[in-house]
Amino acid sequence: MKIPRLTTLAPVAVLVVLALFPVIGIPLSWLNYLFFFFIYLALANMWNLLAGYTGLICLCPAAFVGLAGYTLAIGTQVGVPFQVGLIAGAAVAALFALLISYPVFRMKGIYFAIGTLILPQALKGLFSYWRPVGNEYQGMGAGYSVIGSAGFTLMDKYWLALAIAAAAIFLVYIIIRARLGLGLTAIRDNENTAASSGVNIFRLKLSIFIIAAFIMGLAGAAYFIYSPRINPVGGFSIRWLIMPLMATVIGGEGIEEGPIMGAAVVTFLTFLLADYGAWSLLIQGIILVAVVVGMPQGIAGMLRQVGAYRFPQKLLQAAEAKIHKN
């Protein structure tokens, strides 16, 4: 009988422990912290998939989050259950990614980044003056509430965010080990060489773009179930770009463990600097620059260089060898 590898069982054990946290009665404040950590982790994993593994410096996560949040909120306004609105929001974000893929993929490098950066601002302007349902225009786009989520407890929201974060990690794990992952790495390293080797550049980029948009939209909709009101400023906020970008760069771009470490740091800084208002983004920006200068490969990259990962891995390998030997 084949014995499961301990390195495979370890993430499952961690997931089970995290799922049991609400049951064993940890403080509600910790559930709040972990909720935000899971949302940032899901966003960071998708941004790492785009930028770290594919080389697409995508600056429009706020567009996916905002569209998913508005789809969720508007759906509940017309009688759609918020559970359906959650999936519908992610689907709309993915559809938006599909619609913009052809024009934005024609741009390269910095032009792609700039082209994606203006999308959330355009959507913010649109939703500021357009009211799909409800009363007439009330100035700068009055927000919408998510109806029907009052009975959805903090524990339920915690489990939802945990499931989304786990799905994001699992997707990245599967993708980078499949043929799709090899193609993405080839595109990141040299797009022209990848194309001459028979890699379908547009199809691979489109696949990853849609997957990332769906998960980002799902995470965004989950956030607006937690904080059940959306407006143009909050829905298309620059923080939906800053948070995953910082988490990926601080943790380590193009490294699987990077978003996990980076999301933990970003979540800690978010709550630590909450009282500083607009200054918090400036402080986080300074920290980001310091990390880029001092640790270009991020925390995970630095730990790999100094061999910090080697010790636990060797212990696991030794334990596995002993189990199989017996």
pLDDT digits (tens, 9 = 90+) for 299-317: 888 887 776 555 455 544 5
CA distance 259 to 298: 10
Residue 73: Cβ within 10 Å count:
27
Domains of the chain by start residue, with CATH: 6-325 (1.10.3470)
The answer to whether residues 119 and 213 touch, using CB atoms and an 8 Å cutoff, is: no
Residue 97: Cβ within 10 Å count:
25
pLDDT at site 3: 42
The alpha helices in the chain, defined as continuous H runs, are 6-24, 28-47, 61-77, 82-105, 110-128, 154-177, 179-189, 191-196, 201-226, 232-235, 239-251, 258-272, 279-294, 298-306, 310-325
Q: Averaging pLDDT over each range in 86-100, 185-199, 273-287, 298-312, which range is the top one? A: 86-100
The answer to whether residues 103 and 118 touch, using CB atoms and an 8 Å cutoff, is: no
The answer for residues whose C-beta is within 8 angstroms of residue 117's C-beta and 6 or more apart is: 59, 60
Query: Helices 239-251 and 298-306, interaxial angle, to 10°?
Result: 10
pTM of the model as a whole: 0.88
Question: For 106-154, what is each residue's pLDDT tens digit?
Answer: 888 888 999 999 999 999 988 887 766 655 544 445 678 898 888 889 9
Name the residue among 106, 65, 56 with its Cα closest to residue 209.
56
Which helix or strand (DSSP H or E) is residue 229 part of? strand 229-230
Question: For 64-99, what is each residue's pLDDT tens digit?
Answer: 999 999 999 999 988 899 999 999 999 999 999 999
Token pair 């800053």 in the structure block, residue: 242
N- to C-terminal Cα separation, the chain: 12
Max Cα distance, the chain (Å): 74
pLDDT reading at 326 higher than 70: no
